[in-house]
């Protein structure tokens, strides 16, 4: 099982894939565009399609993306079923945080449809009773009051201290505002009632990549490492100076890792 800690200094324009893929030619000498891999991206709590915007752009030469809508259902199972109904017949699957919970549910329900799996800032554990009580209290408070989105305190839990002010913080607040309070309640209910996935990890046989920020407070590195240790052949990557939102906080590193993941032979 491979393990890699990422240093920002390692990345260059070439390794990030900023240049288009070289042309491929068929036997008649006609330029044949490479086939694009269908990739389903799963957002996290209070996130919409903007979470994956930079990955979709950076991987446009190798990936045909679909970003699932996880705002409509109040269970992880229903989110998984809605995603499967809209997804291609076979696809690579990448989920961040709550999206990772949905990805693991998809692996239980339809493993034959997934060719690769990427779990970013996620966990295979169920909520602790204390965390579920906290979520329920938050739901009750919201029902009595007004949805305020991402507060400064919550932002400090979600992202690295370097990103509590600036474009990452602005994007987080914008996504939360668009998702809204009703969807937030549905998502919180789904998260706090999600099943524990630890015992099912050993059944995953597709090429799997696990990524975590070294400063992730929501799903800390030990949660990611236990996923890696239970999925045979998986790779493990830690991103420095990063919190719970790696796709936004360090998009270049995530893009680089996803490109390498997509180049691995599918199951």
Asked if residue 152 belongs to a domain, the reply is yes
**Per residue in 206-223, pLDDT tens?**
999 999 999 999 999 999
State the pLDDT at residue 149: 87
Please give the average per-residue pLDDT across 57-67, as a whole number. 98
**Per residue in 75-107, pLDDT tens?**
999 999 999 999 999 999 999 999 999 999 999
State the pLDDT at residue 143: 84
DSSP 40-94: EEE--TT--GGGGHHHHHHTTTTEEEEE---SS-SSHHHHHHHHHHHS-SSEEEE
Asked if residue 148 belongs to a domain, the reply is yes
- The number of C-alpha atoms within 13 Å of 251 and in the hemisphere containing its C-beta is 16
Asked if residue 21 belongs to a domain, the reply is no
Please give the average per-residue pLDDT across 173-194, as a whole number. 96
Q: Which two three-digit tokens encode residue 199? A: 């015992």
Asked if residue 24 belongs to a domain, the reply is no
Q: Where in the chain does DSSP place strands (E)?
A: 2-6, 24-25, 31-32, 37-42, 63-67, 91-96, 114-120, 208-213, 235-239
State the pLDDT at residue 137: 84
Q: How confident is the model at residue 27 (pLDDT cuts 50, 70, 90)?
A: low
The better pLDDT of the pair 134, 122 is held by 122
Asked if residue 22 belongs to a domain, the reply is no
For the entire predicted model, the pTM comes to 0.87
Assess contact for 95 and 197: CB atoms under 8 A. Answer: no
State the pLDDT at residue 190: 97
Q: Which domain holds residue 171?
A: 2-15+35-262
Assess contact for 244 and 213: CB atoms under 8 A. Answer: yes
- The torsion region of residue 58 among left (phi > 0), alpha (psi -120 to 50) and beta comes to alpha
Provide the CATH number for the domain around residue 136.
3.40.50.1820
- Partnered with residue 210 across adjacent β-strands are 119, 236
Task: Quote the number of domains for the chain.
Answer: 1
Asked if residue 142 belongs to a domain, the reply is yes
Asked if residue 27 belongs to a domain, the reply is no
State the pLDDT at residue 16: 31
Asked if residue 25 belongs to a domain, the reply is no
**Residues 200, 103, 226, 124: what is their CA dihedral angle, to the nearest 10 degrees?**
-70
Neighbours of 23 (CB within 10 A): 9
Assess contact for 206 and 117: CB atoms under 8 A. Answer: yes
Please give the mean pLDDT across all residues of the chain: 89
């Amino acid at each position: 099982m491979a393990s890699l800690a990422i240093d920002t200094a390692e990345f260059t324009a070439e390794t990030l894939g900023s240049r288009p893929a070289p042309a491929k030619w068929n036997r008649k000498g006609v330029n044949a565009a490479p086939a694009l891999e269908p990739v389903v991206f799963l957002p996290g709590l209070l996130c919409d399609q903007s979470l994956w915007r930079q990955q979709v752009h950076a991987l446009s030469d190798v990936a045909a993306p679909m970003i699932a809508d996880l705002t409509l259902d109040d269970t992880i199972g229903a989110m998984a079923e809605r995603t499967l109904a809209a997804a291609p017949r076979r696809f690579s699957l990448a989920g961040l945080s709550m999206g990772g919970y949905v990805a693991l549910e998809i692996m239980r329900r339809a493993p034959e449809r997934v060719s690769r799996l990427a779990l970013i800032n996620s966990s295979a554990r169920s909520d602790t009773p204390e965390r579920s009580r906290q979520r329920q209290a938050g739901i009750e408070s919201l029902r009595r009051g007004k949805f305020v989105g991402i507060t400064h305190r919550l932002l400090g839990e979600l992202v690295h201290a370097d990103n509590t002010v600036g474009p990452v913080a602005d994007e987080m607040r914008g996504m939360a505002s668009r998702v809204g309070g009703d969807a937030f309640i549905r998502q919180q209910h789904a998260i706090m009632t999600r099943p524990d996935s630890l015992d099912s990890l050993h059944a995953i046989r597709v090429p799997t990549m696990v990524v975590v920020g070294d400063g992730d407070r929501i799903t800390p590195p030990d949660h990611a490492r236990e996923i890696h240790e239970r999925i045979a052949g998986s790779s493990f990557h830690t991103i420095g100076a990063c919190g719970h939102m790696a796709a936004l906080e360090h998009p270049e590193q995530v893009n680089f890792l996803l490109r390498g993941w997509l180049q691995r032979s599918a199951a």
